[in-house]
Structure 1
Amino acid sequence: MLLETLDLVIIAAVIAVTVLVGLWSSRQAGKNPDQYFLSGRGMSGWLLGISLVATTFSTDTPGLVTELVRTQGVAGNWAWWAFLLTGMLTVFLFARLWRRSGVATDLEFYELRYHGPAARLVRMFRALYLGLVFNGLVMAGVSIAAIKIGHVMLGFSTTEVLLYGGLTALILSTIGGFRAVVLTDCLLFGVAMAGSFAAAYFAVQHPAVGGFGQLFNHPEVAAKQAILPPWDWSTEESRNLLMTVLLMPLLVQWWSVWYPGAEPGGGGYMAQRMLAAKNENHSVGAVMLFNAAHYALRPWPWIVVALASLVAYPELADLERAFPDLDPAKLGHDLAYPAMLTQAPTGWRGVILASLLSAYVSTISTQLNWGASYITYDFYKPLTGGAASDKQLVVVGRVTTVVIMVLTSLLAVYLQTARQGFDLLLSVGAGTGLVFVLRWYWWRINAVSEIAAMIGSVLVAAFFQFTKHDFAPWQVMGLSVGVTTLIWLTATLLTRPEPDATLFSFLRLIRPRGPGWKRVYDRAAAEGHAIETDPRDSIRLGLLRMALGIAAIYGALFAIGKALYGESATAVALAVVAVVAGGALAVSFRRGAAVVRG
């Protein structure tokens, strides 16, 4: 064990605060399922935004970033940076609509948008699929990173890490519900950020690195620090790198792949936060704050650690020699992140480890609460015909939370690296994203569309996973998206649309705009049921704001990177882009508010 008494005191204090918040929240959480899963729908946007940032901090994210940087360079982060486009789409086209829906979970949406047994079937199926299987995979990826950190920093076995870390998250989520999750997220976010910056600082103090001034002079780092991959089509290897790292994520992946935290159209715990907001403006603010912090603020400390690790541990063999007791099945480039943390001095080592524990607890507790909400609201409650009492639903939620944690622990034993889990989730979600966007803006989407998309994506992913082929990863992604989209689009056009009564009811509640609903609005008006829309929901205005948000956040992200690289002029230019785009975005909101008041 690398920890001293001071380190242990810091870690114990973080755990104690976490448990106390859970206990404090327990009385309120137990009143009814709305309190347990959504904290009464009265939370402020800034609280929910910070909670989202803390949730996606996770223990596996630094490991994933480290693996991407070590194998593909800094440019490899476009695999997740591209999801900013998805995030901005959610902010400006979906956040208001989600809050307006008033549903308890995003899966309850199915019985607003669709009709009859098919709507209930898809709701209940996705509750089990997402709440147990998909959610279990996400948490297993987080847990595998925690296992490696626990082994390197504490000498813990796999069982000990899952027992101690999982038990803390389980207590928080089971007893305190959503309120406890959000409040501890906000507390733990500060610890997590302090730990990540400290980790970066001490990583560059590694004797092999020689300080921050020398980091970017090392040949191992110079070869990996480019933010964009080379625009080189001359060889198959360079083409595959460019397509995999940059073009597929930016052109296809962001709108076509359902990935937790970056769901096209919003969903999952992102939707849970939007639904818990006190009003539509707070819903928008929460998701905007999350995207700004997630993409602009957090990445560079992780990237600095990853680059420093290339100097200290250039090859996997170096990591293997440094940690000979590690299970060989768990050896991967993501191990380099916890390996670099061993350089921190006493006290700071405790802060860094507490930050990673905070990230783990925050993510796992959110996933547990979110997954349990699916099983409770979207499977058990419909199964009972709505006859279950509030107390029964809370009990089911708590029992389900325990079951999900046990399933996660079993899955974590079999995964090897954070990247493995990331790629698996991308492959299973490929091709489903567009249907989740269009269901809000095209009347022709029906329940069969979603069933076909889910089944199609799993079958296509299984085909590429279990058959031999010579396709590059980007080709697999493109084919998966194309085939799955063709499957659900064909199913949509070959089946009947939802009945007018269902569509009219949806329009009266949600009031989406755009040409995809014109025919239905016209039919409603012709039948004497004219429906008014909200000018703030303009698709054109939403897309303009989306572009400004993307420019502002990417500008800030790359300005920070260029400043770290010592490229001052480029950094200033990018910062100007960020400020101008952010200012224009703020002006558009003020004018929009004035139009509504007028």
Structure 2
Amino acid sequence: MYLASITLTTIDWAILVAFFIIVLSIGYVASRSAGKSTSEFFLGGRGMPWWLLGISMVACTFSADTPNLVTDLVRQDGIAKNWVWWAFLITGMVTVFIYAKLWRRSEVMTDLEYYELRYHGNVAAFLRGFRSVFLGLFFNVLIMATVTLAIIKYGQILFGLPAWQCVLFGSIGVVIYATLGGLKGVIWADFFQYSIAMFGAVYAAYVAIQQPEVQAIGGLSGMLSADSPIASKLAIFPDPGDLSLLVSMLIIPIAVQWWAVWYPGAEPGGGGYIAQRMLSAKDEKNAIGATLLFNFMHYAIRPWPWILVALASLLVFPELSDIGEQFPGIDAQYLAHDVAYPAMISKLGPGMLGIVIASIVAAYMSTIGTHLNWGSSYLVNDFYSRFIVKDASQQHLVRVGRICTVVLMVIAGVLALKLESASQAFELLLLSGAGTGAIYLMRWFWWRINAVTEIVAMFGAIITGVVLVFFVDADALAIRSESFSLDGSSCRLLLAILINTVIWVTTALLTKPEKKETLYEFYRKTKPGGPGWAKLRALAEADGVDIEGDSKGKAWELPYELLCVFVGTIMIYACLFSIGNFLFGNLVYAALLLLLSGVCCVIIFKLFNRTRAVG
């Protein structure tokens, strides 16, 4: 261990202690109702308002590793590299205007329960059970390990703690309140923690700009000017004259990635903890409002403080060796570009240092708390009570859920000690879901998709990912010519998407559809509508079965919903780039983009009201 480069003062410690007391108190108060039933523990009693759910969603994605990831992207490839996750806004808007109400209508406990609503028989049961373990345990643990990795790096940079102590100290508090209060405790804690986390991010950006290395070139305006030493990192869009960068950084994410890749928090068609929040909403309106607020805060408001810190870090720590020299005790395993963010946090002064460290802990606890509750909901509702103890009491299931919460945290902490960087885990998660995204969009609107299709798609993605990662050299797949080149990672992603999409579409066409009685019940409950269900509606009419109810004869909502998706995407991107242009000093462009965002907002509400009127 080396001597930490910062020392917490009495006021810093007081702030941290107060923070933990408030968070644990929230968990204790929520525990009074959380233990009554699994609906209370995992869905907060299905009575949560849109504003609270929206903040909870964005708090969860405001994880401790996300600033590190953004810093990694900016330091290596510039601001434009953020399109690798900005493109998921389209996924989010599709969820807002198309899928949020469908999930709420389904009234399932978890999104995996959907499988036995949409499909039937042992194959559907197997799919639900396998996915509960695969996502709830393995995949979920990988996500939590990634977030915990960030805490390790903060602990090593700021306090000089060994990795195992970072994991231990970082996980104790979140396990206590997540175990006590269930989802309701997590959501209310998220609301409190997000306020602190956002303030901390903004203040960290302010302090980063005040560093002598930044002030020496003219502060913010100098750092973001064309003459800046880091000018090559400042483009928001890839150079249109460089086709290679344009394809890899912008075209692939916008044209392919958003619909083809399953990624936590941006699942095509909704899913995971986003679906959990929608299912816990009071009604369809609150589910839609929550997801809209989430996407606005996540993509439009939050990125710029992180980007500013990342850019400033390039001036303060131009090379990784500079970080290593200032923090000689950091393990070589963890010395990557993403540690530049915690390195910049070390520049804070007394008092505010305590607040910003509390904000980092808040971001960590929000994400881990959500994933602990989400993962345990899968293991309890979709595996344990479905296949192990089918007649267990609600109180017994809540106890099992609390045990799962602790176990998941332990496994995630152990795995975190093996990871190296945020981008490493991000790429692994991205590739493991390549090619499966479209099936999660289409299964709501095409009756032909069955359980076998999803099973084949799932295993196809796993096998393809393993082969491409461990047996195929990414560089061997790279395209290189005088006029165009595409890096191996992009080629690997496109190849995985192509292979897996062909596999699942072929399977859907060659295998038998689900029993029509199962499909009748699914349609009657969720009312998806559209030409993809035309044959089923004809079968139901021939059988004398009413599956449309009060929606019969009404216009299909999807065309209006797609228009809402388009306008909503422009609205949030316009706001994102308005803030960016304001920081760059382009005030006219900033004002015009803000005006465009406001106009789109008005159009959305008019379109949305019309959609609800016809649907």
Give TM class, smaller chain: over 0.9
Contact kept in structure 2, 1:113 and 1:506, CA below 8 Å: yes
In the other structure, the counterpart of 2:496 is: 480
For residues 146 and 153 of structure 1, the distance between their equivalents in structure 2, rounded to whole angstroms, comes to: 10
Over the residues paired in the alignment, what is the CA RMSD in angstroms? 1.3
The one of 192, 201, 225 equivalent to 2:206 is 201
Partner of 2:32: 27
1:228 paired to 2:233 = no
Corresponding residue SS for 1:213: helix
Q: Which residue of 1 aligns with 2:570?
A: 551
1:160 aligns with 2:165: yes
- Aligned to 2:466, the other structure's residue is in SS state helix
Distance in 1, matches of 2:30 and 2:82, equals 37
In the TM superposition, what is the alpha-carbon distance from 1:537 to its structure 2 partner? Answer: 6.2
Tell me which residue corresponds to 2:120.
Answer: 115
Note if 1:255 corresponds to 2:271.
Answer: no
Contact in 2 for aligned 1:93/1:537 (Cα 8 Å): no
One of 214, 220, 234 as aligned partner of 1:212: 220
The 10-residue stretch of structure 1 (441-450 or 582-591) with the greater mean CA deviation from structure 2: 582-591
Q: Is the 8 A contact 2:164 2:417 kept in 1?
A: no
d(CA) in 1 for partners of 2:383, 2:200 = 39
Match of 2:435 among 401, 409, 431: 431
AA in 1 matched with 2:158 = M
Distance in 1, matches of 2:556 and 2:118, equals: 18
1:572 counterpart (574, 591, 597): 591
Q: For 1:223, what is the secondary structure of its paired residue?
A: helix
Amino acid at match of 2:46: R
Residue 305 of structure 2 corresponds to: 301
- Tell me by how many angstroms 1:385 deviates: 6.2
Question: Which of the residues 370, 387, 401 maps onto 2:374?
Answer: 370
How far apart are residue 342 of structure 1 and its match?
1.4
Amino acid at match of 2:425: G
Quote how far apart the aligned CAs of 1:595 are.
5.2
Structure 1 residue 158, shift from structure 2 partner: 1.2
Q: Aligned pair 1:96/2:101, yes or no?
A: yes
| 1:421 has 2:425 as partner | yes
- TM-score (norm: length of structure 2): 0.94
| CA displacement at 1:424 relative to structure 2 | 0.5
Q: Which moved more, 1:213-222 or 1:342-351?
A: 213-222
> Across the two proteins, how many residue pairs are aligned to each other?
591
What does the per-residue CA deviation read over 1:433-477, in whole Å, with 9 as the maximum and x for residues that have no partner? Answer: 011111100000000111011101111111111124312211111
Residue 541 of structure 1 is matched in structure 2 by 560
1:512 corresponds to 2:528: yes
In 1, Cα distance between the equivalents of 2:493 and 2:241? Answer: 21
Residues in 1 aligned to 2:365 and 2:24: alpha-carbon distance in whole angstroms: 11
**Equivalent residue of 1:61, what SS?**
helix
Cα distance between partner residues in 2 of 1:514 and 1:439: 12
Could you say which residue in structure 2 is the equivalent of 1:525?
541
CA deviation string 1:149-178 (max 9, x = no partner)? 111122222111111111111001111100
Higher mean alpha-carbon deviation, 377-386 vs 259-268, is at 377-386
Partner secondary structure for residue 89 of structure 2? helix
Q: Judge conservation of contact 2:557–2:614 (CA < 8 Å) in 1.
A: no
Aligned to 1:461: 465
For residues 96 and 594 of structure 1, what CA distance do their matches in structure 2 show? 14
In structure 1, C-alpha distance between the alignment counterparts of 2:465 and 2:48, rounded to whole Å: 38
TM-score (norm 1): 0.97
CA contact (8 A) 1:54 1:362 kept: yes
Task: Write out per-residue CA displacement over residues 394-417 of structure 1, whole angstroms, 9 at most, x where no aligned residue.
Answer: 111111111111110111011111
Relative to structure 1, is the Cα distance of residues 440 and 593 closer, same or farther in structure 2, using a 3 angstrom cutoff? closer
Q: Secondary structure of 2:212's match?
A: coil
The 5 Å alignment of 1:332-343 reads 332-343=336-347
Contact 1:221 1:308 in 2 (8 A): no
Aligned partner of 1:585 in structure 2 is 604
In 2, distance between residues paired with 1:314 and 1:407? 35
1:139 correspondence with 2:144: yes
- Which ranges of structure 1 fall in alignment gaps of 5 or more residues? none
CA contact 1:90–1:265 (8 Å) conserved in 2: yes
How many angstroms apart in 2 are the aligned matches of 1:412 and 1:190? Answer: 27
Q: Distance in 1 between matches of 2:388 and 2:35?
A: 21
1:114 is matched by which residue type in structure 2?
Answer: Y
CA contact (8 A) 2:197 2:360 kept: yes
Is residue 2:385 matched to residue 1:381? Answer: yes
- For 2:192, the equivalent position in structure 1 comes to 187
* Residue identity opposite 2:529 in structure 1: R
Deviates more, 1:328-337 or 1:469-478: 469-478
Question: 5+ unaligned residues in a row in structure 2: which ranges?
Answer: 478-487
Question: What pairs up with 1:78-97 in 2 under 5 angstroms?
Answer: 78-97=83-102
The Cα shift of 1:594 comes to 5.1
1:440 maps to a residue whose letter is: W
Shift of residue 215, structure 1, vs aligned partner: 2.0
Structure 1 equivalent of residue 514 of structure 2:
498
Larger mean CA deviation between 120-129 and 514-523 belongs to 514-523
Contact preservation (8 Å) 1:209, 1:311: yes
3-state SS of 1:219 partner: coil
| Higher mean C-alpha deviation, range 213-222 or range 396-405 | 213-222
Deviation, 1:345, is 1.4
Distance 2:575 2:269 in 1: 24
Whether contact under 8 Å (1:243, 1:474) holds in the other structure is no
Contact 2:92 2:295 in 1 (8 A): yes
Q: Is the 8 A contact 1:192 1:358 kept in 2?
A: yes
Q: Is the 8 A contact 1:220 1:310 kept in 2?
A: no
Alpha-carbon deviation of 1:526?
Answer: 1.7
Q: How far apart, in 2, do the equivalents of 1:595 and 1:229 lie?
A: 41
Conserved 8 A contact 1:199-1:352: yes
Could you list the per-position Cα deviations for residues 357-406 of structure 1 after superposition, in whole angstroms to 9, with x for gaps in the alignment? 00000000100000000000000111136312112211111111111111
Secondary structure of 1:294's counterpart equals: helix
| Aligned 8 A contact 1:220 1:314 in 2 | no
CA drift of 1:587 comes to 1.6
Name the stretch that deviates more: 427-436 or 534-543. Answer: 534-543
Contact 2:136 2:374 in 1 (8 A): yes
Per the TM alignment, residue 536 of structure 1 is displaced from its structure 2 partner at its CA by: 8.3
Q: Distance in 2 between matches of 1:18 and 1:524?
A: 52
Q: Amino acid of the residue matched to residue 473 of structure 1?
A: S
Q: Distance in 2 between matches of 1:521 and 1:90?
A: 25
Q: Structure 2 CA distance, aligned partners of 1:136 and 1:437? A: 25
Q: Secondary structure at the residue paired with 1:232?
A: coil
User: Does structure 1 retain, via aligned residues, the 8 Å contact 2:561–2:608?
Assistant: no
Deviations 1:121-141 (A, max 9, x none): 000000000001100110111
Say if 1:536 and 1:592, in contact at 8 Å, map to a contact too.
no
